[in-house]
Structure 1
Amino acid sequence: MPPHPTDASPISSVSPDPSAAPARSWRDAVAVYREPATLRMLALGFAAGLPLLLVLGTLSFRLREAGIDRATIGYLSWVGLAYAFKWMWAPLVDRLPLPPLTTLLGRRRGWLLLAQGVVIAGLIGMAWTDPRAHLEPLVLFALLVAFGSATQDIALDAYRIESAASDKQAALAAAYQTGYRAAMIWAGAGVLWIAARAEVADAAGLYQNGAWRTAYIAMAASMLVGVVTVLLSPEPQRRTLPAPRNAAAWLRDVLVEPFADFIRRYRWQAALILALIAVYRISDVVMGIMANPFYVDMGFSKDEVASVSKIFGVIMTLVGAFVGGVLSARLGVMRILMLGAVLSAVSNLLFAWLAGHGHDLRALVAVVSADNLAGGIASAAFIGYLSSLTNINYSATQYALFSSMMLLLPKFIAGYSGVFVDAHGYAAFFIATAALGLPVLLLVALAMRATRTAP
């Protein structure tokens, strides 16, 4: 592992220009996927991706099946704002020790293990709560899962950035994204498949909370993949942090300096970078809240949605993440950012076509496959881009700021998605979400130009 810069160094953990690294051969670009750090990130990415759909997409399917109206489902998606505000406690995750976990495991692994425990507890609570009779407690358990998941993201992003050199960050991001997307398929298709198998035959077609209880317990058990990986993984090289002179100095170092450092390094470009981060995934995030209610309203069964997502979605997601990582390493992150932005918007138009096409399993296969391919490419490049912006001295806090900004505006807008669908229909909604991606293309082009003209 390369030596870390000192705490006084303003140097980023990776080059501020994500396309500045010399191009490597295709063989070298692929070989990095066999390294231990990359394989660990695959498993940890799975643990990071598992909770997201269970408090958003999959939960929306469960709620719609239970008879909860679309407007309420849209508003409940604001549970996901926990991910958008994680920067508020990221400085604590970055610097605060957790005795005895920090002593036993290290700062990064200690926080990871604690966060995973919170996620597991919240999922068990969601499993035993019936939304028809106890919607508010279910939402509170979902908030607990979201908080634990967001905290896990903070610690894991720092762990990933500190675990390998800058020229390997794109591969780590791709491995992370592969595990993340695989977990999202498991938390989306897998949970539907389990719930369908657990249903009582003589009550077919009715909402059965017992079946969903079995599925959510299985998801809680699946988090053990992350727990075991944390226990078996090495802690990144520990940096000796300077002792603060007083409480005010500590607060300034923890709360202010990570953000001031970013502004100092990027100056006027900081506004452009933050604007790009804020809207890059807006098409996907806003559309995703209504995807599962759309499947329910279109008459697709749990088995149909699970089969399509599990077979075709998984394949295309893994292909997309792998292709995005390799192309980013070979051609530069910025070019693949542009490609991902275009593909994300276009894939939403396919859902608009499906809305007018009707209940057609083959059409669903084609649309879900294209959407997952686009998402895998875009996310792998975007994670690599965000990683390139961080200073290793503040990796957890700065990355949390970036990933929080990525979700804040999209999640807020997504809260009104159910109201929009009720007023205008699904086809108009999907077209509108594709249009939301148009400003992204302009911002990526401006960021590419700024990168080329930077001194």
Structure 2
Amino acid sequence: MSTLTAPETTPARTDRGFWLLLWGLYTTQFIGASFLNTGLVGILRDGGTDLGTLGVLQLLALVWPVKFLWAPLLDRWSPGRSRGHYRSWLLILQPLMVLSLLGMALLSDPQRGLGVVVVLAAAFVLFSATQDIAADALSVRGLEREQHDLGAGVQVGASYIGTVVGGGLALLIYDAWGWRAAVVTLALCTAVAMVPVLRHREREVAPVAPAAGRLSTMFGVLSVPGAVRWALVAVPLVALGSAALWSLVTPALVDAGWSLGFIGTVTSVIAAVPALGAALLGGRLCRRVGRGTTLLLGAGIQLLGGLCLVPVVWSDAPGAHGTQVLLGIVGACGVLAGYTVMNTGIYAVNLDISRPGHAGADFTLLSSISMLGGTIGASAGLFLASAAGYGVALLVGLVVAVAGAVACRSHPLLARAR
């Protein structure tokens, strides 16, 4: 095992192959994640799996917010220095992700082999979360500072491609050709990312102190001036409000009388397309008008989306029809696209303040805090909706998200990034 090393003073040239590598890695993470959160849940529920079991399956997602616990280990050790510090991790983790999906394809009926499915799903979540650490570290070390805005757009945008494939395409294939065809397709899509991994050559770097990967240093990024208020106040507010809003969309549309199939199409496919465009646009806007302005623009888009949902959740007419359908689609797209635009600015700052010698641990900790905020926000949004109604929950979610965007906008890290 090798020890992580600090970067050279001369930045590496970021070529087309490196951008393809980032697209491949971040897309494949969310192919499997979206399938487990959306596609697999729908398939198992359609086969009669009880809601309690599905709830346990959803708990597997908690691996992602806590992956900062082992991120320092990836910074310090590598399975093979000659193949590149983080690349050598990817050469192991990416095939393991593929094999865990192929293992599910060996089952003819996921209901009958539910225990095996849960074990393989847990393995995939662990492998993909660890792969994300290595991918984030490569982003921090491989992108020059002036490329952080576009890099953040790729990170966020690729996730929506994965969401469309894992959440939408998988269900379409399942309906047409069955379980095995759907899972094998996802495995093949995940395997494609091995091509840029094999072609990538990670640059050599100089040694650093052995303490770089110890658990005692995992919170070191918070010592960066301004990082505490950024990571523990401003960004969590955006995640709290945005996740609360998004958590309301599906149950609100169900209660409005929409069919589950149509809701799935809207949330997993239709809304993901403008979100992908928003990620790419957000990265370019960060460079042209500044990250603070981009964050406020994202908050405005999300605000409009949330307001479009208000007449949908307060409508007394049952069923999806006419104006309600249009407002529901525009609302879902606006909420997700607005959060995406804000996220590009947030990710770009996270890339800026992550220390290259602790690339995996720093960026992972920052993103884990945001994920934890999102998890709490989603739960709080549903709880508030049950207690006070969708209208109040929507309003509170919008206020919190906008407050977070304003807090980010006024943060000195945004001004420094410009």
TM-score by length of 1: 0.75
Q: Structure 1 residues 413 and 314 mapped into 2: Cα distance closer, same or farther (>3 Å)?
A: closer
Q: CA contact under 8 A between 2:292 and 2:410: conserved in structure 1?
A: no
Structure 1 residue 192 and structure 2 residue 192: aligned? no
Structure 1 residue 172 and structure 2 residue 142: aligned? no
> How far has the Cα of 1:157 moved from its partner?
0.8
What amino acid is the match of 1:47?
T
CA RMSD of aligned residues (A): 3.7
Q: Structure 1 residues 294 and 254 mapped into 2: Cα distance closer, same or farther (>3 Å)?
A: same
Counterparts of residues 273-284 of structure 1 (less than 5 Å): 273-275=230-232, 276-284=234-242
Q: Distance in 2 between matches of 1:125 and 1:352?
A: 44
> How far has the Cα of 1:85 moved from its partner?
0.6
Q: Structure 1 residues 317 and 115 mapped into 2: Cα distance closer, same or farther (>3 Å)?
A: same
Q: CA contact under 8 A between 2:302 and 2:335: conserved in structure 1?
A: yes
Residue in 2 aligned with 1:359?
320
Q: Deviations over 1:351-404 (max 9, x none)?
A: 454345542454454334334432432232222121111111111110010011
Q: Structure 1 residues 424 and 264 mapped into 2: Cα distance closer, same or farther (>3 Å)?
A: closer
Q: Distance in 1 between matches of 2:262 and 2:251?
A: 15
What amino acid is the match of 1:217?
V
Q: Distance in 1 between matches of 2:411 and 2:235?
A: 11
Q: Structure 1 residues 453 and 305 mapped into 2: Cα distance closer, same or farther (>3 Å)?
A: closer
Residue in 2 aligned with 1:123?
101
Structure 1 residue 379 and structure 2 residue 338: aligned? no
Q: Deviations over 1:186-239 (max 9, x none)?
A: 1122122212223xxxxxxxxxxxx3443233212210121222112222x222
Structure 1 residue 228 and structure 2 residue 192: aligned? no
Q: Structure 1 residues 380 and 441 mapped into 2: Cα distance closer, same or farther (>3 Å)?
A: closer
Structure 1 residue 96 and structure 2 residue 96: aligned? no
What amino acid is the match of 2:100?
G
Q: Distance in 2 between matches of 1:116 and 1:352?
A: 42
What amino acid is the match of 2:375?
K
| More displaced stretch, 300-309 vs 374-383 | 300-309
Q: CA contact under 8 A between 1:126 and 1:141: conserved in structure 2?
A: yes
Counterparts of residues 188-267 of structure 1 (less than 5 Å): 188-198=167-177, 211-235=178-202, 237-242=203-208, 244=210, 250=211, 253-257=213-217, 259-260=219-220, 262-266=221-225
Q: Deviations over 1:121-147 (max 9, x none)?
A: 333455548665565554433322221
Give the gaps of 5 or more residues in structure 2.
none
Q: Structure 1 residues 8 and 190 mapped into 2: Cα distance closer, same or farther (>3 Å)?
A: closer
What amino acid is the match of 1:123?
L
Q: Distance in 1 between matches of 2:237 and 2:108?
A: 35
Equivalent of residue 288 in structure 2, options 317, 325, 330: 330
What amino acid is the match of 1:238?
E
Q: CA contact under 8 A between 1:78 and 1:411: conserved in structure 2?
A: no
Residue in 2 aligned with 1:17?
none
Q: Distance in 2 between matches of 1:350 and 1:142?
A: 36
Q: CA contact under 8 A between 1:192 and 1:303: conserved in structure 2?
A: no
Q: CA contact under 8 A between 1:308 and 1:364: conserved in structure 2?
A: no
Q: Structure 1 residues 195 and 429 mapped into 2: Cα distance closer, same or farther (>3 Å)?
A: farther
Q: CA contact under 8 A between 1:65 and 1:296: conserved in structure 2?
A: no
Q: CA contact under 8 A between 1:49 and 1:180: conserved in structure 2?
A: yes
Structure 1 residue 440 and structure 2 residue 404: aligned? yes
Q: Structure 1 residues 356 and 64 mapped into 2: Cα distance closer, same or farther (>3 Å)?
A: farther
Residue in 1 aligned with 2:29?
48
Residue in 1 aligned with 2:359?
395
Q: Structure 1 residues 33 and 300 mapped into 2: Cα distance closer, same or farther (>3 Å)?
A: farther
Q: Structure 1 residues 379 and 58 mapped into 2: Cα distance closer, same or farther (>3 Å)?
A: farther
Q: Distance in 2 between matches of 1:151 and 1:191?
A: 23
What amino acid is the match of 1:122?
S
Q: CA contact under 8 A between 2:224 and 2:353: conserved in structure 1?
A: no
Q: Structure 1 residues 442 and 174 mapped into 2: Cα distance closer, same or farther (>3 Å)?
A: closer
TM-score by length of 2: 0.81
Higher RCO (C-alpha under 8 Å, 6+ residues apart)? 1
SS in 2 for 1:234: coil
Q: Distance in 2 between matches of 1:140 and 1:347?
A: 38
Q: Distance in 2 between matches of 1:415 and 1:125?
A: 32
Q: CA contact under 8 A between 2:137 and 2:360: conserved in structure 1?
A: yes
| More displaced stretch, 382-391 vs 52-61 | 52-61
What amino acid is the match of 2:174?
A
SS in 1 for 2:204: coil
Residue in 1 aligned with 2:85?
107
Q: Deviations over 1:417-446 (max 9, x none)?
A: 777666776666555544542541353244
Give the gaps of 5 or more residues in structure 1.
1-5, 14-31, 199-210, 245-249
Q: Distance in 1 between matches of 2:244 and 2:119?
A: 22
Q: CA contact under 8 A between 2:20 and 2:196: conserved in structure 1?
A: no
Structure 1 residue 407 and structure 2 residue 371: aligned? yes
Name the count of aligned residue pairs.
Answer: 402
| More displaced stretch, 80-89 vs 292-301 | 292-301
Q: Structure 1 residues 281 and 123 mapped into 2: Cα distance closer, same or farther (>3 Å)?
A: farther
